[in-house]
Structures are given as structure tokens and as C-alpha cells.
Structure 1
Amino acid sequence: MNAPHPDSSTDEQRGSRVARGLGATARGAGRAGRATMRTAKRAADAQGAGESGLSRLIQMHFFNTAGDAAVAIALAGTLFFTVPSGEARGQVALFLGLTMLPFAIVAPLIGPFLDRFAHGRRWAVGATMAIRAFLCWVLAGAVVTESAWLFPAALGVLVASKAYGVTRAAAVPRLLPQDFTLVKANGRVSMSGIVGVAVSAPIAGLASLAGPEWVLRYAFLLFVAATIGAIRLPKRVDSSEGEGDLLLRGDADKARTGSVRIPPAVAYALRANCGPRWMSGFLIMFMAFQLRQNPIDGWSVELLTALVVGGAATGNFLGVVAASVLKKINPAITVSAVLVADIAVVVFGFLFYGVLALALLGLVAGLGQALAKFSLDATIQRDVPHRVQASAFARSDTTLQLAWVIGGFVGIAMPIDPPRLGLGVAIAVLAAWGVFVFTRHPKRSSRVVRTGN
């Protein structure tokens, strides 16, 4: 009989210790996860959001953005950085054109259709989730087999995502807690989206190591959870009580049977938002090619690009936080200030082109875009009757996306040399647009919207 190897018992002991260590780690992670969920739920329920039902919308939005992040990671490619610049420009231009397709469908078709769901908003929101869950399952098979259904299913996911944004924005005013306001509610919901992306992106990244189909199956589960969350929204989301009395000007009875004109405050906020959106599209596309072709001495292309994108993401996050904590905000003043700030930061970048200017460009662009969009949403929710808000949100989002795409097209069409030429063009465009916007400011100033208690 062979004697046991002297190291076998030692190996077994080591394996046992590793197993116990992994078990303890898993239990600790589970406890930390449950504690985090309890903390998140308390935060969502704070200040009356639990009683009004806004917390349920916040939780649903968490799963929605987590699913969208997983889909984006599953479909993301690195082709842009692996082909020559000339070919990449054509591919990016095609991408910009394709980004308008979901909005082209949502604005004229889905917006008015969703308006007819005034008594079934919960089911309309849930349908946008269920459709994406189904299409993610279809995509999981299509990416493996390279099926012809790949592009139609991906387009369907994008369209359903934009339709969700419209229905969710139209539902927020129905769940407003007492002494809570629209900008703050929108900021609270968007904050949950940021948390959803932060939690979901690493998980989706790990799943992508096994293949994009597993990321899409993970997204399927997230959208199923979001569908359940939509169905669990309070019944008041479906209520149409008082909707005929929400007009601030004009004859309400006549508006019920006729068309509703865009209020001047909404038109002004939308025009002012187009400036920051144009700048965002221009900045991303122009800097992507500019930094790739002419990187700043001593800095890698990847690091410079991360600096601009990271600055924009940080600015967007700060905008969400600011919308959630500011005591009061005037939407008209906010969108005007954002447009002026964008012009000023581009002038700074033109005069002092360098690493600091690039980081500041991204930061101000992200911050301004977030604050301006929150102000626009609050203005629509305040001044546009609920029965046509879905159409209003669809058309405003389409207009802003069009501004972003036009900015992107200008950015990829600009010559690379000299670097300041593109920023000079951006200054001219933003300044001209600013003059156009400010000369059409409503005569009556918009009311102040309180965002804190």
C-alpha cells in the first residue's frame, strides 16, 4: 500500500482554508449588498417619496438604466480605434445617422400613441420594458449566429428605450410628493439611473468575458425586473383627474378638442437647450479625431480621450446632484446661464488650448447639459397639459438629438489642423445661436420652481 504523499494533507488544509475564505467573502458581500439595498430603499423613500409612489418609479428606473448599460456594453465595439481615420469618419457619420432613427419613430408615431394611454400609463411604461426584455433575448441569439435580425432587434431596443423616457417623464408629475418639486424629482430619478449604471456596468463587463450573449441575457433579467416594477407603480399614474385644468394660458375647454400650442417658456427652454446639445455632439466627435491625430505632447490618446469623457461624466453627475439639492431654480435663467457658460468655456479652450482646457470643456459641457435638460423637463411638466405631454417630450427629445447629431456631423467634418480652428467655429456657432435665443426670450419671466424643502 502506498503511503500518502506528505504534502497531500497540507494541500487539503490549504484548499479548506481557501474554501472557507471564499465562503466568508461571499457571506460578507451578501450582507454588504443587503445593507446597500436597505440604504438605497430608505433614500428612495425619503421626504414622502415612499408614500407618493415616487420611490417605486425610482427603483424601476434603476433597473431600466442598468439594463440599458448592459445592452450598450454588449453591442459596443472597438472598430473606431482599429481602422484608419478616413474610414472611421465614414463609419461614425453612418452611426450618427442611425442614432436619429429611434427619434424619427418616437416623435411622430409613438408620442401621440402614448398620449392615448393617459388611463394606462403603467402598462405603457411596462410595455417598453417587456419589449426590450424580449428583444434582448432575441439579440443574445443573433450576436452568436450573426443573424439578419441583429440590426432590427438592436433598433427596436433603442426605440423602446426612447419611448420609455417619454412615458417615464410624463408619469413623474403624478407621483410628486407634497412639498416636492419637478426638478428635484427628476434629479432624484436620474440619480438612481447613475447608481444603476455604476452597479450594472462592472457586472456586464465580467459577463462580456464569456461573450456578449451572456450580457444580453443579463439585460433580459434586468428588464423583466423593470417590467414588474412598472406594473407595481401606483394607480394614480393612470389618473387623468385635473388634466383639463393644467393649462396656464388660453381656454382649457377649447384646448381639449383642439391643438395645444407650445407655451413660450417651453419654446425658449427648448431653443436654449439646443446650444449645449450641439456643443456636446461637436465636442465628442471633433475631439475624438483631433486627439487621435494631434495628441498633446507627453499625453497618450487614450488618456486625453478619457480626460474629456471623464470630465463630461463628472459634470453630468454634478448636474444631477445640483438638481437634487438646490433650494430653488428658475428654469429660464438656468438654461440661459448654461448657454453663456458653454460659450465662455469654448473661448477659454480656444485661447488656452491644453490639458486643463480639455478637462474644463468636458466638465462644463456635462454639467450644463444636465442642468439645462432638467430645467426643460420641469418646464414641460409644469406648462404642458398632461394629456399631450408624451408628444411634447417626444418632440423635444427629437429636437435635442437632432442638435446633437448636427454638432457631431460638424465635428467630424472639421479639418484637424490647426487644432484651434474647430473651437473657433464652435464659438461662432454658439454665439450666433445665443443671440438668436436671447432675442426671443419670453416677455414674461418664468416662475421660480422650488427644488428643495
Structure 2
Amino acid sequence: MSQPFSQIGVIAQLRACLGYRSYRRLLLVRLISQCGDGMFQVGLATLFFFSPQHAATVTGVAGAFAVLLIPFTVVGPIAGPFLDRWRRRNVLYYANSLRMGLALVIAICIALSPKNPVIYVLALITLGINRFLLSALSAGQPHTLPAHLLVMANSITPTLGSISAGCGAGGGFLISLFASGAVRNVLALGMAAILFCVAALCALRLSADELGPNRHAVTNTAWESLRHTVTNMRIATRYLRARGTPFYALGVMATQRFLYGMNFISLLVMSRHLLVKSGDITAGLKIFATIAAISFVGNALAILVTPAVCRYCQPAYWIVSCLCCGMISQLLLATSYARPVLYVSAVLLGFAVQGGKIAVDSIVQSDTEDHVRGRAFALYDMMYNASFVAAAFLAALTLPQSGWQPKLCLVLAAVYLVAAGCYARAIRRVGNAPR
């Protein structure tokens, strides 16, 4: 390792990351791919299950999110064995190429038969491939940078990807100014296909083995591993548990994602029923968009603060602080649903979620050996999405139709506190380095 992470500033870290050609090329693939994702989702905007925000009840919102995320959850364990054997550069190329083809087929289906159920199946397959692709991006990133720059890379990369997806969605909405209905969807999906094609070509700028995996540790084929998917996940879990730090980080990530999912669905339903006259969908969505934008301020603050704080403390201790920040956000929300309280709570929650995720990503990337890293991130993705699906089901059972339940907010705050205490205890027991 060259210069220690703790001895260089945030701006210097960012410049150092961008100074690595491999990282710049991988980042470009991510940005173009996720821009295509945003455009693709606009092309599916008229399909109910791909627009949960339009559902009228808690059960409708939760059900739509569950249907949307289940493919992401299922793909996780399947992706891992392949990501530890296939060249990850090739995964980026073929995944984007396949998504390009599927987007074109979906566009044709919408043009010819907008209500054809095949559209739903193909769209869910495309979303599943997207999760496979994002796992490959995460597993390959440590090959593009030295370990001391991973915290900064994990701060900026996912956020830039989200911004790019937002730009793609914005481009899709611009299309709606000139077209509507099926024509708009077809044009948006066509543009998404073009972006997926460009991303696939950009992936070829990376050399074949530039993103790994390291092949000396591979002893069986991907198909053999696939036949033993459950065994592989159990092996990966056992490995992560033995390493200590990445295992507990994944546990925190899943817990935080579950709590965030409960809060997210609650705010969405509140925006539809409690904060506006019931039934005013447009006004409700505007309020929810405002809350989401304010939450993004917290994300942005976490991106700036996390690398700076990690100059003075280990990522594990920062995770504990972020969990405490999440607890405060829920305590505030339990007191009132007045707009100022909602906005402050949203900023704190956005900060807690993003700050914790940056630290978790860095721990899993740096403390997991490369021959297991693909399965580790496949397990990461499976837990990440399964936690939100679980939150959706619990929200459907516990949230009132108004979306606001002070007692539930207090329960979520207590879970944040317990999670922080358990994680701090685990880290003290195993230390900050893998065993």
C-alpha cells in the first residue's frame, strides 16, 4: 500500500481514484448501464408492478415492491458461482448485450400487444440480469484500485450510478413531452437498448482479466457450482463468518435495509393519504418526490463526510454511528408527521443509510479474498433485496392506511439501537481486521 488512507484528504482521494485508468473505465460502464436502467424503467412506467408509487393502499404498495424485487433476490445466489469463475469483464459485456436484446423485444411487444403478460416476464428477467451486472461491478472494483482508496470509491461510485439512472429517467420523461402511451414506452425502451449496447462496447475497453477473478483458487466449473448453489452459499457464509468482519457487516446491511424499507413504504403511503387530500395522486407523488430529494441531501452529506471521518476511525465504528443516526431519525418521526420533522428525519435517514452502506461495501470488498468475493456480493445482493421484500410484507401487516404509526417508529428506533449495540460488541470481539 502506498500512502495510508488516513493521511490523504477527501479531494486527494477522489483525484487518486480517477487517476486509475481501470477505475475510470469501470465507472464509465456503470454510468452508461445505469443511465439505461433509468430509461428502461420509464419505458415500463405504465405497468403497475413497475410503478409501486401509483398503488392506492399499503398492501398494493408492498405487493408491487415485493414482485419487483423478488427477481433481484433470486438472482443473487445464482450469480455468485459464475462471478467467481467467469471473467467479470465478459459478464459486463454479455449482460449489457442481453439486456439490449430484451429491451428491444419488450419494445416490440408493447407496440404490438401492450397487455401481453410476456412483457412482465421479460421485464423481470431484464431486472434480474441487472442485479447480476451490478454484482459483477462490485466484485470487480477492488481490482481497479488499491485498498486504501476503496472507501472513497464506494462513497462516490454508487451515487454517481444513481445520478446517472436519474438522468436516464429524466431523458425518458423528456420523451413524454413529444409522445405518450405506447409510443413513449417504445421510444424509451429503444433508447435504453442503445445505452445498453454502448455500455457493452465500453466494457470491452477493459482487458479480459482486468476485473478478475483470480483463477488459481478455482477447482470446479461454474455449472458444477450452480448445481450446488445452496452448498456454495453455505460455504461462502461459513467463510465470511470465519473472516468475521464481512459477516457482521452484511448482517448490519440487511438490518438497515429492512428498517429503511419499512420507513420508505410508510413515507410513500403517508404522502398519498396523510399529507394531502386522499385520492390526490399527483399532489401525493410530488410530496413524496420532495421527501426523497431531501433524503438525497443526507446521502450527499454521507458521501462527503464518510471518507473524511474514516481518516480518523475504522469503518466499523462509523457503521455504529450511522445506526445511531438512523435511530434518531425514527424517534423524530414518532413525534410528529409535520413537514419540517419529516424533512429532518429524511435527511438523517439518508445520511445513515448511505454512510453505513459505504462502510459495509468497503469492509466486504477489502476483507474478502477474491476467489470468494463474487459469492460474497451475490449473498450481499440477495440479503439486500430480501430485506426490503420482508419489510414490504411486514409493512402490509402493520401499517395503517394513513402510513403513520408512532409506536412502530419507536420499535424501529429500538431495533436500530439494538443493532448498533450488537454490532459494536461483535467488532470488539473479533477486532477490526479479518481473523
- Length-normalised TM-score, structure 1: 0.76
Q: Which of 161-170 and 331-340 deviates more? A: 331-340
Structure 2 matches for 1:6-405, cutoff 5 A?
A: 46-47=15-16, 49-77=18-46, 85=56, 88-117=57-86, 120-144=87-111, 145-146=113-114, 147-177=116-146, 180-208=148-176, 209-210=178-179, 211-234=184-207, 235-238=209-212, 240=214, 260-262=239-241, 263-295=243-275, 301-323=284-306, 328=311, 330-405=314-389
2:417 aligned with 1:434: yes
Distance 1:236 1:377 in 2: 20
Query: Retained in 2: the 8 A contact 1:284–1:408?
Result: no
| Residue segments in structure 1 that go unaligned for 5+ positions in a row | 1-42, 245-255, 449-453
User: What SS does structure 2 have at the residue aligned with 1:160?
Assistant: helix
Q: Deviation at 1:447? A: 5.1
User: What SS does structure 1 have at the residue aligned with 2:426?
Assistant: coil
1:29-79 CA distance string (max 9 Å, x none): xxxxxxxxxxxxxx9994263444111011111101101111111112486
Give RMSD over aligned pairs. 3.3
**What is the one-letter code of the residue matched to 2:387?**
A
1:171-216 CA distance string (max 9 Å, x none): 1111105x85111122232243144234333322122342111001
**What is the one-letter code of the residue matched to 2:432?**
S
Query: Retained in 1: the 8 A contact 2:14–2:152?
Result: no
Query: Retained in 1: the 8 A contact 2:93–2:199?
Result: yes
Distance 1:364 1:237, change over 3 A: same
Query: Retained in 1: the 8 A contact 2:269–2:401?
Result: no
Q: Which of 57-66 and 361-370 deviates more? A: 361-370
Distance 1:218 1:284, change over 3 A: same
**What is the one-letter code of the residue matched to 1:306?**
A
Distance 2:237 2:173 in 1: 50
Query: Retained in 2: the 8 A contact 1:132–1:160?
Result: yes
Q: Which of 214-223 and 198-207 deviates more? A: 198-207
Q: Which of 381-390 and 325-334 deviates more? A: 325-334
Distance 1:218 1:373, change over 3 A: same
Distance 1:361 1:257, change over 3 A: closer
Distance 2:58 2:328 in 1: 28
Q: Which of 233-242 and 265-274 deviates more? A: 233-242
Identity, % of aligned positions: 21
Distance 1:243 1:185, change over 3 A: farther
Distance 1:280 1:272, change over 3 A: same
Q: Deviation at 1:167? A: 0.6
Which one has the largest radius of gyration? 1
Query: Retained in 2: the 8 A contact 1:289–1:416?
Result: no
1:122-146 CA distance string (max 9 Å, x none): 1012122111111111111122222
Query: Retained in 2: the 8 A contact 1:174–1:237?
Result: yes
**What is the one-letter code of the residue matched to 1:446?**
N
- Corresponding residue pairs, total: 388
- Length-normalised TM-score, structure 2: 0.79
Distance 1:152 1:356, change over 3 A: same
Distance 1:48 1:436 in 2: 32
**What is the one-letter code of the residue matched to 2:315?**
P
Q: Deviation at 1:218? A: 0.4
Distance 1:218 1:361, change over 3 A: same
Distance 1:44 1:334, change over 3 A: closer
**What is the one-letter code of the residue matched to 1:284?**
F
Query: Retained in 2: the 8 A contact 1:276–1:365?
Result: no
Distance 1:112 1:81, change over 3 A: closer
Distance 1:56 1:323, change over 3 A: farther
Distance 1:82 1:390, change over 3 A: closer
**What residue in structure 1 maps to residue 221 of structure 2?**
none
Distance 1:415 1:395, change over 3 A: closer
Q: Deviation at 1:272? A: 2.0
Distance 1:101 1:261, change over 3 A: same
1:389-442 CA distance string (max 9 Å, x none): 11111112221222222223333333537875x232132144146325523523
Distance 1:419 1:57 in 2: 40
Distance 1:171 1:324 in 2: 21
User: What SS does structure 1 have at the residue aligned with 2:108?
Assistant: helix
Query: Retained in 1: the 8 A contact 2:76–2:132?
Result: no
Query: Retained in 2: the 8 A contact 1:290–1:416?
Result: no
Distance 1:212 1:170, change over 3 A: same
Q: Which of 376-385 and 142-151 deviates more? A: 142-151
Distance 1:338 1:426 in 2: 17
Distance 1:261 1:432 in 2: 24
